[in-house]
Structure 1
Amino acid sequence: MDTQQNTALTRALAEIPGPLPARGVIHIAIPHTDRFTVVGNHLAQHPDLSCTAVGIAVRIQSLPQGVEVGIKALAARCREGEKRIAAALRELEACGYLRRVRDRLPSGRFITRTVFCNQPTALLRPRQTASPRRPAVAATHQAPGPAEELTAAPAPAPDPAPDPAPDPAPTPASPSPSPSPSPSPSPSPEPDMPEPPPVPPPPSFVTPLPPPFVPLIPPPTAPKPPPPPLPQPDEPTPELDRAATALLSDLRRHTPEFTLSEADIRQLAPGVAAWLERAAHPDAIRRTLTTDLPHPLRRPALLLKHRLTALLPPPLPGVHDLAAPARPRVTVTPFQTCDDCDRVFRSPTPGHCRDCREHRAHRGDDTRTAAA
């Protein structure tokens, strides 16, 4: 008896037209009459702004002009700390909603003004300039052009001018007078007024409008790349297909959520066969497919297809791949002992060292010179 029942909410739900959705949010929209702020969906659903930044932006937009919106002033009004408010202001400044401008007063002191724009993308649109209008020309100074005669509304015809010398009494035998078909005399231009220049006809083309504004932020409904295909075995065999079908059919014994239909098992069997072909153990495959499941699991076949494709292990390496690479053989030149001075030197063949070879060459030259 002491539990209060919210009958107003139940009554409001009963007044919503149409069937209520089975899941998701249900809006009860009551129009505001005072103390409200209009917030665009581009801010409320901004993909790059955090919820703290969106809330700070709504709080700033609801404040009257001239209220302090610095970090300390907002921290005194909100429950968030100064670090979170500073990070939110930086996000708004990066997205163009907020801007800090340094201004100089007449006294020479510099101040920082905070400017908040509720729709920054509208500032990037090119503004349409009004087409220049031609000045009106008096009828007594200039006659309208041919294009103006076609577009102007027809003016009422003037009264026919009276005859300068009407007959005093019409003759009875004469027929009734009819209006003269001759046009009324136009007023002659004044002699002192110069003739105005003719007005050029308007151009026959229409000036195209500027291109519409193209936002730099991609829409949230941008096309996504197609998912990768299900892996296939390199050499499909009946044994692999039978083992893959048995593994998929046995998943419901371990996890009841994976009660698959025959069509789903036939579609997913090549992916499991590719795992078995790469020497993956059936228990490892079952553990990979059935652990850490989302709640609730609505489309088990789609989840299995994603995991079979994204978590496919590489093939096992062969014996030659696991063997250590052979080290390159380094040829070492052996030591030799000089036949004349017993000095040790490196040479592939025995003989004399470099000094002894030079000495022998120099002595041979002297002998040849003495003999000559």
Structure 2
Amino acid sequence: MRPHAPSRTAGDKHPNRRRPRTGGGLVHDNTRHTTRFTVIGNHLAQHSELSLLAIGLGVHLQSLPRGARADIKSLAARFPEGTTRIAAALRELEAHGYLRRVRERVPGGRIVTRTVSCNQPAAAATATGTGTAAAVAVPREPEPMPEPMPAPMPEPQQRAPHQPLPAVPRPAYPAPALLRAAADLLAGLRRHDPRLLLSACDTAHLAPGVAAWLERDVTAAAVRHALTAGLPAEGLRRPAALLAHRLSAQLPPPPPFRPPAAPPPVRLPLQTCDGCERAFRAPSPGRCRDCRTDQEEAA
């Protein structure tokens, strides 16, 4: 009877499995990038002839978007190494084919220098028919880089729409005269604080709230003080929103109920009696009460 073939050795017991070293060394803790990443070849990251500054600068240039500034002054403003060291690192990258400087004539006749960052110098050299050995040597003294082509203007960002203003109280009887007085009060707030210059749209939104205050027997001076007192010294970006909040949060209660006062007694005018010529009060001329009584008894 033929013996069965031995089963495959699993796990770390496999004879050909490479066991990790037990000593110290680099260990990678990697997470897969999904956004905002740049692919860098090991021929640059592990270059045996480039300095660490040149390698880092080459990685930075490959991560920049098209049209970004790559001149010495801009890079020196971004990094602390200074113009001398950055110029030397740029020449290293140029010597090994990771950087090219192409002079071009732009419309208008001006000549500018375009900086080209190469992520694969060998492929670029094959395409242009040149080799990396033909690169210029690194000079000892730093030489200024020609002025680069101006970066394109960034596209204008769309402004986020403003949030609507908070709601304001409404008067019970929005009479046109009451709303006009409220709008005039709001228009005069800028005399107390120039930051309270309101637009016509904001004034129309806030006027009913001011009218609700005036309807509750609050004087115009009291409303003005409630809206302008204690304003922040800085950071008043949306004055209309602050005024709307104060009109709602500090709305006073309605005035106490007062029963209607009794009408004053009617005071009739003085009349002269046609019979005895005495003065008496009556709505129209005629005889007084005594003369009318004597006349009725005689009848």
Q: TM-score, normalised by structure 1?
A: 0.29
Q: Is the radius of gyration larger for structure 1 or structure 2?
A: 1
Point out which structure has higher relative CO (alpha carbons under 8 A, 6+ apart): 2
TM-score normalised by structure 2 residue count: 0.36
